[in-house]
Structures are given as structure tokens and as C-alpha cells.
Amino acid sequence: MYHGSTVHELRITYPSWIETVVDWRRRYRTDEEKLDLAIALSRDNVERERGGPFGAAVFEVASGALVAVGVNSVVRLRNSALHAEMLALMMAHHQRQSFTLAAPALPAHELVTSCEPCAMCLGATLWSGVMRLVFGARREDAEALGFDEGPVFPESYRYLRDRGIEIVGGVRRTEARAVMHQYLSRGGTIYNR
Amino acid sequence: MYHGSTVHELRITYPSWIETVVDWRRRYRTDEEKLDLAIALSRDNVERERGGPFGAAVFEVASGALVAVGVNSVVRLRNSALHAEMLALMMAHHQRQSFTLAAPALPAHELVTSCEPCAMCLGATLWSGVMRLVFGARREDAEALGFDEGPVFPESYRYLRDRGIEIVGGVRRTEARAVMHQYLSRGGTIYNR
């Protein structure tokens, strides 16, 4: 099954509408403001893209500057790894041109996501170098829709906290969950189960 | 910190030397033959790329046909998510143009990797749709070098097995570990710790 080397290039992009949702110049002061952006991304991903009901963003902790965003792109880009958090973290590395967001020359970063990360995204959070993780809806909210969150246990969170990562969950949970239910009522694909 | 939309494209490629190592036409019959390819990739990634000592490949289970490969590309592409397994799985999705390798029209797939997957890659394995996971070196071999494997527990493996994924570890462990020690003796970067 030979396939030429040109096949071996992945191009990972945002949906074309992303610039109409995101204001790159704005400073986000509170966790609630940051979650509002992640949830707005999740909502537009459902309404415009028919994509998974998940959005995420990476910020500088101190300034509240926005570094990168992500929306679930599993169906759009036909790639099971492209959860919202993965896209946001990979775009943040690209924007900072660094394989760690904890590089000495960089300010501290945080990942904010509309729903509790799955096993893959929680691992990626650890490797990315973010100092904070903030999420909206909880694991059981995703599972209630039929999504699988994978092997995440209480000791998984302990593992990250032991390595200095602050974790805050349940911020704007009701609003985040509402988008997830909107997705279900539209007959959206439950791709990992 | 506005950055124009052209910045928002990730291009994920293989290193230029990959075609000299990989024979796309060959059929791989045994787990040992498949591990030999993953380890050869890990070795060339250290010797030619000064990259992390990890290689991986996705095969069709029944035919032994090679679908995609991966080498650790964290430093090369400045992206903490680009472990060998992630690159192999993402390239496999791209090659198959499907967000699940378990799609009804596709044959069964397997992921073969030179070292036990970290938390992120184990989660990605579950979402990818592969039916088998085969690895060489073990978690403690990676940890002995200073690499962190993240929150993976015995129940993480149980979680995958309960969902029908066969897991085989320790194949060609000595050979896989030898490349990891070669990396350390060359002063390679231990990027996640």
C-alpha cells in the first residue's frame, strides 16, 4: 500500500468561522469570562459546524491574554485526536514556538475548556506546561450524552496536582451542559463510545 | 496579541529521512517484525534527528500492511502532543480518511510502539479505533531515563481491555530499551518531567 510522501502532511486548521467568534485582542479577567469564550466556541461548533459540543482556549494567566483556541474537530478533520483541548494546546505551542508553555522566557499559561478533559486531553495538559486547568461541565455530563471520557480516576487529578497544576472544575457548568444537550437534540454524532 | 489567521495552520509532517527507513510495500507478519520497525524508527529519530527515542506504527491486523508510522516529534515540531503514537494515529486517520479506524468498511487496525504509551497516548489509542496495542519497552524503562509517563494505572489497562482492545507488552523490550539508553548517553532532551 505505497502512498507517496505528499500524503504525509497533516494540515490542522480552525474552521473558517472562528475569526468571527474570537476577539484576539480582548483580555479575559475571570474564570467565568474565560469559560464564556470556551462555551461560545462549543456552541458555534455545534450550530455552524455540526461538530462535537466542546470548546477550549489557552490564556496567559496573569494578563488574561488569549493565546489559542480549540473546537472539537474529530468529524470535521476526520481525526479522533482532535478534541477541543488538543487543538487549543497544539495551536498554543505553534503560536509560542515552544514545546513547553512553561519555558522560562514565557509567562504562565492556563487551559480553559467547556467540559472535563478525557484521558488523552488530561495527559496532554500535563505535557503542555500549563499551570492551571479550568473546566465547565463534568465527566458525568458528557457520559450522560453517551460520550466516553476514558481512563480518568481521582488519582489522575492527584497526579497533575502533585506536579503543580491547579485544577478548577464546574465553572459555568449549567451553560456548558446546555450546549451539550443542544448537540444531542440535533442528532449529533457521538464518536467516542 | 492579534495574530492573523495564516498563523492558525499547523503542518505536521514526517522528518525528511522517513522514506529511507520505511518500506511501505512490505507485509509485517509477527509482533516482533512490527516492533523491529518501531524500534528502527526510534533509532533513526535519535541518530538523525536528535529526537526522542520513540517510534510507532499502525498496521492492518490481518494483512500486516503498514498504514502509517510515527516518531517522537516534540522537539522537531515544537509540540508537546506529538509523541510517536500520536503522530502514527493521526497519520493513520489521514491515510484512511476516517475519524475511526474501526469503521465498518475498514479492516481491523493495531498500534505498535517502541515503548509503553503515556497517559495521553493511551487515551488516544482508545479513541482511534485500533483493536490491538503492542509495545516494547515498559513504563519503568522510560522512567529510568527521567521521562514521565503520566497518570496511567492498572485500571487504565483494564478500561481499554473492557472495550475490546488487546494489549501485549514487552515485545523486543531489550532492543527498544537500548535505543532509549543511546539517547540518554548522547545527552538528549528529557522534555516531559
Residue B16 neighbours by CB under 8 Å, 6+ apart: none
CB pair distance less than 8 Å for A119 and B123: yes
Q: Is residue A46 part of a domain?
A: yes
Q: Is residue A121 part of a domain?
A: yes
User: Which grid coordinates are listed for B180?
Assistant: 532509549
Contacting residues of B for A99, CB less than 8 Å apart: 74-75, 77-80, 191
Quote the ipTM score. Answer: 0.95
Q: Is residue A162 part of a domain?
A: yes
CB pair distance less than 8 Å for B90 and A81: yes
* pLDDT at position A87: 98
* pLDDT at position B1: 44
Q: What is the pLDDT of residues A14-40, one digit of tens each?
A: 999 999 999 999 999 999 999 999 999
Q: Is residue A22 part of a domain?
A: no
Backbone angles phi, psi at B39, to 5 degrees: -70, -40
CB distance B141 to B173 below 8 Å = yes
Radius of gyration for chain A, computed over Cα atoms and rounded to the nearest angstrom: 16
Q: What is the pLDDT of residues B56-106, one digit of tens each?
A: 999 999 999 999 999 999 999 999 999 999 999 999 999 999 999 999 999
CA distance A1 to chain B (A): 6
Alpha-carbon gap, residue B154 to B169, rounded angstroms: 13
Q: Is residue A124 part of a domain?
A: yes
Total count of domains within chain B: 1
**If you measure CA to CA, which chain A residue comes closest to B11?**
A11
Q: What is the pLDDT of residues A57-92, one digit of tens each?
A: 999 999 999 999 999 999 999 999 999 999 999 999
Quote the domain boundaries for residue A170. 27-185
**If you measure CA to CA, which chain B residue comes closest to A69?**
B8
Does B1 touch chain A if contact means CB atoms closer than 8 Å?
A: yes
By C-alpha distance, which of B165, B159, B98 is closest to B134?
A: B165
CA distance A74 to chain B (A): 6
CATH number of the domain where residue B34 is located: 3.40.140.10
Q: Is residue B3 part of a domain?
A: no
Q: Is residue A39 part of a domain?
A: yes
Contacting residues of A for B8, CB less than 8 Å apart: 13-14, 18, 91
CB pair distance less than 8 Å for A123 and B5: no
Q: Is residue B11 part of a domain?
A: no
A-contacting residues of B 11-30, CB under 8 Å? 11-14, 18-19, 24-25
Q: What is the value of pTM for the model shown?
A: 0.96
